[in-house]
Structure 1
């Protein structure tokens, strides 16, 4: 994945306008690719930030009658108590951590990297940040949930991100990942990291998608957590 697997294309990139001193790695949702999100973020870009949009590998997805599509891991059901693809989630998380390592090798320290995603990608970004020994600047979690939530807090025992900042956004009219999942996830997150660092924003009438005001909130969060240090 993320360029290491010949069957998965290289990530879409929105380069920094000038020298990149920070990065955002953003993971798309089920059945999608990184390209659409690259276009969305190009409209809210910050000059010193590099934006990276990996593409999930194609695999059969149980939720969609085993049809093959881009997916970070298998999803069996959207029921709150559904069995989860633990091995797939952990494997995907390992790949995302490797992508973070690659950016560190490229010269961007991990504490200047924000991890984020939408829906399944947001779920993976939360899990990865909570179980990572790489100190991150924060997480942007859109219309998602915390996977393997029953494995916490033990799964986060060695995490470097107990004080990370999280922006969680969810549409109140979400018909795929119910709004209540977002609310419950935010409450769970408050028990795992510094609760004062969690911002939960809801959007009236918003289904399982994004809208301009939400993207503005994302832009402001990124600029606050990844300030321009080029003049320092």
Structure 2
């Protein structure tokens, strides 16, 4: 059974407080993809915020057996049962990791704001945390992700965060249709979604990061 208590997070309390950012600046939390590590998102975080407007936080997912990969143990935020449009989803695993993250990030979430984001599975989890787990966010950044539990996407609340979604036209892991389905459902439910596609595979490109950076500025997701 996977350990969802996150017993060995590679961060120390206060380590998200970034030198050069204002004390009351929002925290930019970026979550990595399946089988990756927090180092994959650290460079993206720095490129998203060269002016040091935000505090930055990346985390390592717990290691668990992943059904999609024949039970191989790897860093994963929750189990992946399949990537098809009709594949079952690990709702219980998402709930468990959301509880663990909520407890672990309590000091961060009591600050002046949280920006959620990530790549692939980390992007999907970011959407889940905001849509289904009551994580108040000032914005959500989706890099090559998908909309989890799309059949039960709740209507947008008055304080729903704006969403940026970047995706590759040549993505052979999560095809572009996943972004199109997600955008359609989210907009139908009243969310403000900015979608951009790029001639790339399952990755992140500089043009996408620049667009996300402009999105944050346009959305006024900045310290007051």
The two structures have a TM-score, normalised by structure 2, of 0.87
Q: Which runs of 5+ in 1 are unaligned?
A: none
Which runs of structure 2 are paired with 1:2-151 in the superposition (5 Å)? 5-10=6-11, 13=16, 15-20=18-23, 21-45=25-49, 46-105=51-110, 108-109=111-112, 112-151=113-152
Cα distance change on mapping 1:134 and 1:81 into 2, 3 Å = closer
Looking at structure 2, the residues matched to 177 and 164 of structure 1 have their Cα atoms a distance apart, in angstroms, of 23
Q: Secondary structure at the match of 2:48?
A: coil
- The 2-side partners of 1:161 and 1:24 are apart by 22
Moved runs in structure 1, 4+ residues, more than 4 A?
11-14, 159-162
Distance 1:132 1:202, change over 3 A: same
Deviation of the 1:48 alpha carbon:
2.7
Residue 13 (structure 1) shift: 4.6
Residue number in structure 2 paired with 1:227: 222
The Cα of 1:130 is off from its aligned counterpart by: 0.9
Q: Separation in 2 of the partners of 1:100 and 1:8? A: 11
The residue matched to 1:169 in structure 2 has which SS? strand
Matched with 2:186 is 189
Alignment counterpart, residue 164 of structure 2, candidates 167, 170, 180: 167
**Does the residue aligned with 1:185 lie in a helix, a strand or coil?**
helix
Are 1:178 and 2:178 matched, yes or no?
no
Say if 1:60 and 1:68, in contact at 8 Å, map to a contact too: yes
d(CA) in 2 for partners of 1:76 and 1:207?
22
Query: How many angstroms apart in 2 are the aligned matches of 1:172 and 1:33?
Result: 25
Q: Unmatched 5+ residue regions in structure 2?
A: none
Distance of aligned partners of 1:56 and 1:125 in 2 relative to their CA distance in 1, 3 Å threshold = same
Task: Tell me, yes or no, if the aligned pair for 1:60 and 1:74 is still in contact at 8 Å.
Answer: yes
- Determine if contact 1:24/1:51 at 8 Å carries over to the other structure: yes
Q: 1:167 to 1:31 in 2, by over 3 A?
A: same
CA separation of 1:5 and 1:120: change in aligned 2, threshold 3 A: closer
> Is 1:208 aligned to 2:197, yes or no?
no
RMSD: 2.4
Q: How many residues align?
A: 217
SS at match of 2:42: helix
> Relative to 1, partners in 2 of residues 1:16 and 1:129: Cα closer, same or farther, differing over 3 Å?
farther
